[in-house]
A and B are shown apart, each in its own frame.
Chain A
Amino acid sequence: MVEIKDKASEIIDLASELRWQVGDDFHDRLTEGIYADAATITERVEQKPDRKISYSFDRALDKILTSGTFGFPIMILVLAVILWITIQGANYPSGALAVLLLDIVYPFLKDISSNLGIYWWIDGLLIDGVYMAVAWVIAVMLPPMAIFFPLFTLLEDFGYLPRVAFNLDSLFKRAGAHGKQALTMSMGWGCNAAGVVATRIIDSPRERLIAIITNNFSLCNGRWPTQILIATIFIGALVPSGLANLTASLSVITIAMLGVFFTFFSSWVLSKTMLKGEVSTFTLELPPYRPPRFWKTIYTSIIDRTLIVLWRAIVFAAPAGAIIWLISNIDVGDVSIANLAISSFDGFGVLLGLNGVILLAYIVAIPANEIVIPTILMLTVSNLAITGVGAGEGVMFELDSSSETAEILKAGGWTVLTGINLMLFSLLHNPCSTTIYTIYQETKSWKWTSVASILPVIMGFVVTFLVAQVWRLIAGV
């Protein structure tokens, strides 16, 4: 080893000495030399016509897609169409999957297990707990992702997305972020874990961290259904029934826009504080437009993005299902762990304009936002000992009509304030465990993973707290 060290240091010493002589523009000179070689060779081997003619189609398209007049309208239109197709298109397959997995397969499994005479707690843990959680995640998560990601990927393959980053860059620059964050943010509306993976396109370390940490403020598709349900029950009900739907939709959009606001706000704060020392560079290549290959894109994006993310979600949802079942079925003294937890969280929950059930649901449902509402319903019913609804202790459920759901929630003491704050908290809370795991995979840093996990939940506490107090002051309750 000594010999190796000696040899190495002999070389390194000479290098140091030569570096002093060459000066600090070595990199410049080297790159110039390489490009000079490249130019000489290219000169010898390449014949090309006037570039202006050959790329005229690309440039003409660029002029439209990045123009002051049409740039933004086209962008908003494209995004709106994608979201609309995703939400509308996912309804039917989601419903069908729910019927299949929850109404057909679940009773079937229960039958088999009771025929085999399996112990009730094995049956409960595996079928009521693990199976239900996994089934729920698949039913809610798979269809929108299977629609959203391929559409996004088609735009990506065509070459439109870099133009979006180009159009929006000045906006993001003001928040200390990179234009490409526009895309990782939109990707987050599909799934935050996928959004975090997508930040790989940002090649500047500081801006990439910003995009990773703030991705959670994009309302992911696991949270859209919660928003829509709660908005329908609590906000839609505030206005005449003719306007109910419109009001509810607008309130959900408001929450999503609030998420965009928080993305910019926290990007700006991060870039000015914790991350200001990280290296920052900017380059954005605008590749030529290429016709996407439709079927291949659909196939690969489902394999590449949807299934990988879905698999991660399932891996995390399965143990969560088990835990949800266990806390509802294991009693300490006379009370289940779930009810104990609910009563101990209730004080803090009420302070925030929420309640103990919601806080417990967000703790146990950390693997997937999809199972928050079913868990809340199950916990509420079991906490109040309502009979005739649901399928038993620790079995998550959802109801077919929102009015039935509303009845249960109102029985649980929910008010309009609870609804609004749940919507806010659903936007501002820690990322799901799939996303946290993905953040760690991408950053390999516990520090940034913790920041990304804790920052939003603190913001959630503060925002819901303030809204609750102001609400109570004004309403005088």
Chain B
Amino acid sequence: MSDQIASSCDDCAFHNIAQLKKLGVNVEDTDYVVTLAGNPNTGKSTVFNALTGLRQHTGNWPGKTVTRAEGGFSYNEKRFKLVDLPGTYSLLSTSQDEEIARNFILFGRPDVTIIVVDASRLERNLNLVLQVLEITNKAVLCLNLMDEARRHDIIVDERTLAKDLGIPVVPTSARSLEGIPQLIETIYKVASNEIVCKPHKIKNLAGPVNKAVEQLSSKISKIYPEMPNSRWIAMRLLDGDERVVTALQNNEFLIA
């Protein structure tokens, strides 16, 4: 049981090839695997299309993409595989969509997770963002629908947001391709470890809940020192998530 996660190489890929194959993603001819997460109705599919040039249908409907859409792009001679996940409000409810999104980020370990949020309803969207940041260290926040936010006179201070979340924030209006080149560049920098994220961890847990999470997660870290998201796994176990229990038993969290 050797672990190969804590590799010293600077720009190598981080994704879990074996798990990705199981999830049905072909990673041949790909340097990095990038995934798109986000609430329904944040223009996630529009961002997907803007990045890949594909014409996936994007509806004004919560929860459009149940099956995954895949596409690709390249930048700086690196080939990126982009996987669009179902839009979800959370990763905690274990509905079918959430399970797909959660499993992909958790087991597939994408090199970068782009979290698309609606700039005009930041607070609601942060619920999902903070959950994703508990799972993965490599994320970019795509502050989408900037045009709509401007129309409603909503101003978001993206520098402070980036500082608070500990990940890069790129404002975009994917419909008009505004901000997309910057987004691609940032994805590249995070994938190649040029930018190292220090994601925000959830702070405001009530006393006893926080204590239980800490106690369990330190146990997990002691048994699996290489597990990057022990706190999140602790939260899921405390919530009685059967899928995570099975994953622990089958050792799905580690790269074999």
Q: Touching in the complex, A and B, CB below 8 A? A: yes
Chain A residues close to B by CB (< 8 Å): 3-5, 7-12, 14-15, 18-19, 21-22, 26-27, 29-42, 44-49, 54-55, 153, 156-159, 161-162, 200-201, 203, 205, 285, 287-288, 290, 292-293, 296, 299-301, 303-305
**Given A35-B127, A46-B122, A26 contacting B239 (CB threshold 8 A):** yes
- The distance in angstroms between the C-alpha atoms of A293 and B122, with both chains bound, is 25
Does B216 sit within 8 A of A, measured CB to CB? yes
Q: Number of A-B pairs whose CB atoms are under 8 Å?
A: 184
Tell which of B57, B130, B160 touches A38, judged by Cβ atoms closer than 8 Å: B130
**Given A12-B237, A18-B216, A285-B62, A301 contacting B209 (CB threshold 8 A):** no
- The distance in angstroms between the C-alpha atoms of A296 and B174, with both chains bound, is 14
Q: Mark B86-125, 1 if CB is under 8 A from A, else 0.
A: 0000101001110000000000000000000000001110
- The distance in angstroms between the C-alpha atoms of A14 and B245, with both chains bound, is 12
**Given A15-B237, A30-B205, A44-B160, A37 contacting B200 (CB threshold 8 A):** yes
Residues of A within 8 A of B234 (CB): 15
Tell which of B58, B124, B154, B235 touches A30, judged by Cβ atoms closer than 8 Å: B235
List 16 extra interface pairs beyond A26-B212, A46-B123, CB under 8 A.
Answer: A4-B1, A4-B251, A7-B223, A9-B249, A10-B223, A11-B219, A33-B204, A37-B126, A41-B200, A47-B155, A161-B61, A200-B64, A201-B62, A203-B62, A287-B61, A304-B57
- The distance in angstroms between the C-alpha atoms of A184 and B95, with both chains bound, is 20
Q: Which residue of A lies closest to B203 (CB)?
A: A37
Let me know if B130 and A37 touch, CB within 8 A.
yes
Let me know if B153 and A48 touch, CB within 8 A.
yes
**Given A18-B216, A153-B57, A203 contacting B63 (CB threshold 8 A):** yes
Residues of A within 8 A of B237 (CB): 11-12, 15
Residues of B within 8 A of A41 (CB): 126, 161, 164-165, 200
- The distance in angstroms between the C-alpha atoms of A8 and B165, with both chains bound, is 31
- The distance in angstroms between the C-alpha atoms of A129 and B129, with both chains bound, is 56
Closest 6 CB pairs of A and B: A38-B126, A36-B204, A304-B57, A15-B237, A54-B152, A33-B205
Let me know if B41 and A287 touch, CB within 8 A.
yes
Residues of A within 8 A of B41 (CB): 285, 287
Kindly provide the distance from the CB of B57 to the nearest chain A CB, expressed in whole angstroms.
Answer: 4
Let me know if B60 and A159 touch, CB within 8 A.
yes
**Given A21-B208, A37-B204, A300-B55, A48 contacting B154 (CB threshold 8 A):** yes
Let me know if A45 and B160 touch, CB within 8 A.
yes
Q: Is the interface of A mostly helix, strand, loop or mixed?
A: helix
Listed by A's residue number, 18 A-B pairs whose Cβ atoms lie within 8 Å are A11-B219, A11-B237, A15-B234, A15-B238, A18-B212, A34-B204, A37-B203, A37-B204, A45-B122, A45-B158, A54-B151, A54-B153, A153-B57, A157-B58, A158-B60, A162-B60, A290-B60, A304-B55
Let me know if B61 and A201 touch, CB within 8 A.
yes
Tell which of B90, B97, B157, B205 touches A45, judged by Cβ atoms closer than 8 Å: B157
Q: Mark B64-79, 1 if CB is under 8 A from A, else 0.
A: 1010000000000000
Does B255 sit within 8 A of A, measured CB to CB? no
Residues of B within 8 A of A34 (CB): 127, 130-131, 202, 204
Q: Which residue of B lies closest to A208 (CB)?
A: B96
Q: Mark B179-223, 1 if CB is under 8 A from A, else 0.
A: 000000000000000000000101111101110100110011001
Let me know if A19 and B240 touch, CB within 8 A.
yes
Let me know if A14 and B154 touch, CB within 8 A.
no
Let me know if A27 and B239 touch, CB within 8 A.
yes
Let me know if A156 and B60 touch, CB within 8 A.
yes
Q: Mark B137-151, 1 if CB is under 8 A from A, else 0.
A: 000000000001001
Residues of B within 8 A of A47 (CB): 154-157
Does B53 sit within 8 A of A, measured CB to CB? no
Residues of B within 8 A of A18 (CB): 212, 215-216, 238
Let me know if A11 and B220 touch, CB within 8 A.
yes
Q: Which residue of B lies closest to A160 (CB)?
A: B60
Kindly provide the distance from the CB of B119 to the nearest chain A CB, expressed in whole angstroms.
Answer: 9
Tell which of B64, B123, B152, B238 touches A55, judged by Cβ atoms closer than 8 Å: B152
Let me know if B56 and A300 touch, CB within 8 A.
yes
- The distance in angstroms between the C-alpha atoms of A268 and B73, with both chains bound, is 48
Kindly provide the distance from the CB of B181 to the nearest chain A CB, expressed in whole angstroms.
Answer: 20
Residues of B within 8 A of A39 (CB): 123
- The distance in angstroms between the C-alpha atoms of A11 and B95, with both chains bound, is 25
Kindly provide the distance from the CB of A48 to the nearest chain B CB, expressed in whole angstroms.
Answer: 4
Tell which of B57, B61, B90, B155 touches A305, judged by Cβ atoms closer than 8 Å: B57
Kindly provide the distance from the CB of B38 to the nearest chain A CB, expressed in whole angstroms.
Answer: 14
Does B175 sit within 8 A of A, measured CB to CB? yes
Q: Which residue of A lies closest to B160 (CB)?
A: A45
**Given A21-B208, A157-B60, A38 contacting B152 (CB threshold 8 A):** no
- The distance in angstroms between the C-alpha atoms of A54 and B153, with both chains bound, is 7
Residues of B within 8 A of A201 (CB): 61-64
Kindly provide the distance from the CB of B37 to the nearest chain A CB, expressed in whole angstroms.
Answer: 15
Let me know if A45 and B204 touch, CB within 8 A.
no
Let me know if A300 and B122 touch, CB within 8 A.
no
Residues of A within 8 A of B55 (CB): 296, 299-300, 303-304
Tell which of A4, A157, A288, A304 touches B56, judged by Cβ atoms closer than 8 Å: A304
**Given A14-B219, A285-B41, A48 contacting B63 (CB threshold 8 A):** no
Residues of B within 8 A of A26 (CB): 209, 212, 238-239
Residues of B within 8 A of A44 (CB): 157, 160, 164
Kindly provide the distance from the CB of A383 to the nearest chain B CB, expressed in whole angstroms.
Answer: 45
Residues of B within 8 A of A8 (CB): 245, 248-249, 251
**Given A14-B219, A15-B237, A42 contacting B57 (CB threshold 8 A):** no
Residues of A within 8 A of B249 (CB): 4-5, 8-9, 12
Residues of A within 8 A of B153 (CB): 48-49, 54
Kindly provide the distance from the CB of B215 to the nearest chain A CB, expressed in whole angstroms.
Answer: 7
Q: Which residue of A lies closest to B125 (CB)?
A: A38
- The distance in angstroms between the C-alpha atoms of A5 and B251, with both chains bound, is 9
Q: Which residue of B lies closest to A305 (CB)?
A: B57
